[in-house]
Chain A
Amino acid sequence: MVLVYSDDKKITFELLAKATELAKDLGTKTTAAIIGKADEILAEEYVSYGADIVFIAESSIDNFKAEEYTDIFENIIKETGEEIILIGSNKNGKELASRLAGKINSGCVIDSTNVYLKDKKLTVERVVYSGNAIAVEQFSSKPNIVTVPSKVFDPLKKDDSRNGEIIKKKIDGEKSNSKIVKVQEMKTGGVNVEDAEIIVSCGRGFKSKDDIKLVNELADVLKGKTVGCSRPIAADMKWLPEDHWIGLSGHKVKPKLYIAAGISGQIQHIAGMRDSGIIVAINKDPEALIFKSADYGIVGDLYEVLPKLTTAVKEKMG
Chain B
Amino acid sequence: MNIIVCAKQVIDVSEMKVDPSTKKPILQGVTQKISDIDKNAMEEAIKIKDKNGGKITVLTVGPTDAKERIKELLAMGADEGILVSIPDKYDYHVISSLIAEAIKKIGDYDIILCGEASIDLFSGQVGPRVAGLLNIPQITYAQSLNAEKDKVTAERNMGDHAVTTESTYPVLITVTKEINEPRLPSLMQILGAANKPIQDWTADSLNSGLDPMVNTVELKGVSMERKNEIFQNDLDESINKLVESLAKEGVLR
Contacts and interface: CB of A to CB of B under 8 A. Distances in A.
Interface in A257-277: 257, 266-267, 270, 274, 277
Given A178-B139, A286-B230, A294-B228, A99 B159 contact: no
Contacts of A134: 219-222
Given A133-B222, A312-B243, A186 B162 contact: yes
A103 B165 contact: no
A295 B226 CA distance: 5
Given A95-B128, A248-B122, A292-B224, A309 B239 contact: yes
A293 B224 contact: yes
Interface stretch (B44-52, B78-86, B90-98, B191-199): B90-98
Q: Which 4 A-B pairs have the closest CB atoms?
A: A102-B132, A107-B213, A299-B232, A98-B128
Interface residues of B, number: 85
Contact of A98 (B132, B222, B243): B132
Contacts of A256: 251
Contacts of B246: 257, 278, 280, 296, 313
Q: What band does the interface of chain A fall in when counting residues whose beta carbon is under 8 Å from B?
A: 35 or more
A41 interface: no
B179 to A, nearest CB: 11
B160 A185 contact: yes
Given A267-B13, A300-B232, A133 B239 contact: no
Interface stretch (B57-65, B68-76, B166-174): B166-174
A61 interface: no
Interface string A97-121: 1111111011111110000000000
B31 interface: no
A176 B229 contact: no
B131 A111 contact: no
Nearest to A311: B239
B231 interface: yes
Given A67-B137, A108-B92, A179-B167, A130 B238 contact: no
Interface stretch (A27-35, A45-53, A135-143, A158-166): A135-143
B249 interface: yes
A300 to B, nearest CB: 5
Contacts of A177: 136-137, 167-168, 171
B215 A138 contact: yes
16 contacts: A67-B131, A101-B125, A102-B129, A110-B125, A132-B25, A136-B216, A137-B214, A176-B137, A179-B166, A183-B161, A183-B162, A183-B163, A183-B164, A235-B177, A242-B157, A257-B249
Interface in B180-219: 211-219
Contacts of B160: 185-186, 188, 243
Residue of A99, A179, A291 ringed by the most chain B CB atoms within 10 A: A99
B129 A295 contact: no
Interface of B: 11, 13-14, 16, 18, 24-25, 91-93, 96, 100, 117, 119-133, 135-141, 153, 157-168, 171, 177-178, 211-222, 224, 226-232, 235-236, 238-240, 242-243, 245-247, 249, 251-253
Contacts of B125: 94, 97-98, 101, 108, 110
B226 A180 contact: no
Nearest to A279: B226
A217 to B, nearest CB: 15
Given A123-B217, A135-B216, A182 B141 contact: no
A42 B137 CA distance: 30
A102 B166 contact: no
Nearest to B152: A178
Given A107-B91, A308-B239, A70 B132 contact: yes
A184 interface: yes
B156 to A, nearest CB: 8
Given A107-B214, A309-B242, A91 B161 contact: no
Residue of A91, A97, A176, A242 ringed by the most chain B CB atoms within 10 A: A91
A316 B119 contact: no
Nearest to A102: B132
A54 to B, nearest CB: 26
A181 B124 contact: no
A190 B130 CA distance: 35
A99 B239 contact: no
Contacts of A316: 243, 247, 252
